[in-house]
Amino acid sequence: MEFLHGSQSFLGITDPDLTNYENARIVVQSLPYENTSSYIEGSALGPQAILDASSFVEFYDEELRTEICQLGIATQKSLDFGDLVDEAAVELIRKNTLKHLKNGKFVVSLGAEHTVTLGTFLAYREYFPSVSVLQIDAHSDLRESYQGNPYSHACVMARINEYNPLICQVGIRALCKEEAQVIDQSNTIYTVFGHELSKPGLVDDILNNLGDIVYITVDADGFDPSVMPAVGTIEPGGLQWFDALRIFREVCSKKKVVGFDIVECAPRPGEVLTEYSLAQLAYKIMTYSLSDASI
C-alpha cells in the first residue's frame, strides 16, 4: 500500500507524524471506479478533486472545538482497478478496506460511482457482522439490475439488501415502481423520502431505524443541487447543509459509526463548490465520529 504525504494528503497535512500509516487513527482511501455511469460521466475524477479541495479546509472545527486531524490521517494512493469491473472490482475494494479495518483504522472512502459501497460494506459486514447502513441519496438504488448489469450504481443497495442489514435511506426522491415495492415489502429498509425531510421527529425516526453499529454512505446527489451541483444524476430537492449535519451529529453521538464513504461527485470545470463541500463534509463526519477519542 502506498500513501500520500504533504500537500497531496487529505487536508494537505505536511506533518509526517500525522500522515504516517502506523500512527494514524484514520485512513482515507480513494476508489476512482467508474464503469456504469448512466447520465453525467466523470465521477472517476471525484476522489482526487475532493482530496485537492481538502487542502483548503481548516483543521479546527468550530462546532466541537477540536482538531480531529491530530489523531492522524493517512491518505492512501488511489486504488488501481486496471481492467477490473463489476464483481472483481467490488472484491478488490473489499480486500483493501478489510486490511485497514484489521489494522484498527477508521476508514473513509472517497468513491466514484456508488457501486464502490458494495465493496466497503462487505468488508464492514465481515468485521462488524451487525452493521447497519445509513444511506444519504436521491435514489433508492434498489433495482435488481440496470442496463443489464446487477453491479450498476443503480443496484448497489439491492446487492447490500441481499445481506439483510438494517438500511435507513434519507432524501430519496427518484425510484421506479419495482423499487417502491421492495421498500413496501421490506422489514429492514426504512425510507425517508425527499418530501418528508421537514417532518417532525425526523432524526428520532432515523435513529430508531438503525442498529447500534452504523456505516454511512453519502451519495452527493442526496443534497439539494444548490449545495452539491456537480453530481452524476442530479435531482431537484434534497438535504440542505446544516440539516444534514444535524443528522450526522446525532447519529454519530447516539450510535457507533464505524466508517463512511462519499460517492458520485462528478467535477465540473471552473466550479469547485461540490468537491470543497464534500471535503468539508468528510472532515465533519470524521470529527463527529471520533470526537470522543483521545487527542
In a domain, 10, yes or no: yes
| CA 239/CA 173 separation, integer angstroms | 11
User: Looking at the 3D structure of the chain, how many domains does it have?
Assistant: 1
| CA 155/CA 145 separation, integer angstroms | 6
In a domain, 189, yes or no: yes
In a domain, 42, yes or no: yes
**pLDDT tens-digit readout, 25-36:** 999 999 999 998
Q: Which residues contact residue 202 at a Cβ distance below 8 angstroms, ignoring those fewer than 6 apart?
A: 192, 196, 247
In a domain, 295, yes or no: no
For residue 16, give Cα distances in angstroms to 3, 9, 94: 11, 10, 28
In a domain, 263, yes or no: yes
Answer for the pair 28, 17: CB distance below 8 angstroms, yes or no.
Answer: no
- Return per-residue pLDDT of the chain as tens, 295 residues: 788 877 789 999 999 999 999 999 999 999 999 998 877 788 999 999 999 999 999 999 999 999 999 999 999 999 999 999 999 999 999 999 999 999 999 999 999 999 999 999 999 999 999 999 999 999 999 999 999 999 999 999 999 999 999 999 999 999 999 999 999 999 999 999 999 999 999 999 999 999 999 999 999 999 999 999 999 999 999 999 999 999 999 999 999 999 999 999 999 999 999 999 999 999 999 999 999 865 5
User: Secondary structure of the chain: what % helix, strand, coil (to 5)?
Assistant: 40, 20, 40
**pLDDT tens-digit readout, 64-90:** 999 999 999 999 999 999 999 999 999
Residue 58's CATH number: 3.40.800.10
In a domain, 64, yes or no: yes
Cell numbers linked to 227: 449545495
Q: Which residues of 40-65 are buried (b: 16+ CB within 10 A; e: fewer)?
A: eebbbbbbbbbbbbbbebeeebeeee
Domain extent, residue 30, equals: 3-290
